[in-house]
Amino acid sequence: MSLPLPPLQPILSVPDSALAADLHPSPNIEARQAGYRTDLIVLHYTGMASAAKAIDWLSRPESRVSAHYVVDLDGRITQLVAESMRAWHAGVSVWQGETDINSLSVGIEIQNPGHEDGYHDFPAEQMRAVAALCRDIGARHGVRPERVLAHSDIAPSRKIDPGEKFDWAWLAAEGVGHWVEPMAVDATDDGLCAGASGPRVAEMQGLLRDYGYGCADHGELDLPTQVVIKAFQRHFRPARVDGRIDRSTVATLDKLIRALPRPLVA
């Protein structure tokens, strides 16, 4: 079944959040699928030289991409798409078996040039704005902490943003997202690497799937599994992002699952 075409005029005349300082409507929108409610927030980085360039690109019909909000380095927030509409930010993605992430989510682009062009820390003012915006969206839509995700979580084979320098621990302390203190990395523990197989690999794949990642459970540490492990590490154990199954990664993931407020529903 084909999705509806975007409307001729964007539906955005007043901001959904009082935190948005600017409106810059994007035409790259459509209706959310019937029966879907907004219960997920996806955080991205822009991967562009400036927020102004990102906003321009996200507003061009030929780009075929958009997001609900862009947060600049100084914390200034621009809204591009009404929260009631389906923005085109997630792409091919999956979480807890759901593949139409765009119909479930609000997408926030955070200004950072990205890994290929001088990836740097996210300034304090920017992080405060991201936290405030997520709290505001979460309160209005009832988004649970574990439903605030990285683009790399939902699309690990394609995306690595917002990356290992994004301070998820600080964000959780501000009331946004799900986090546990990761088990310290043991430099002597190389873990299982590419080509490994057996019960330990199957256990790791099962834990990743339990948390929500799209991961096969065939017991082989193949490239797709490594990519998912890296995505998990990048978000929840950023001290070493290597795609290996070591004690720190397994223990951190197990602890994270145990800390969930209630069992996940498949």
Annotated catalytic residues are: 109
Rounded distance between C-alpha atoms, residue 253 and residue 77, angstroms: 33
Length of the chain, please? 266
Angle, CA 167 vertex, CA 244 and CA 225 arms, to 5°: 25
**Count of CB atoms situated within 10 Å of the CB of 27:** 16
d(CA 180, CA 249) in angstroms, rounded, equals 12
Phi and psi for 45 in degrees, rounded to 5? -110, 155
107: DSSP letter: E
CB-based contact 57:66 (threshold 8 Å)? no
Separation CA 71–CA 226 (nearest Å): 31
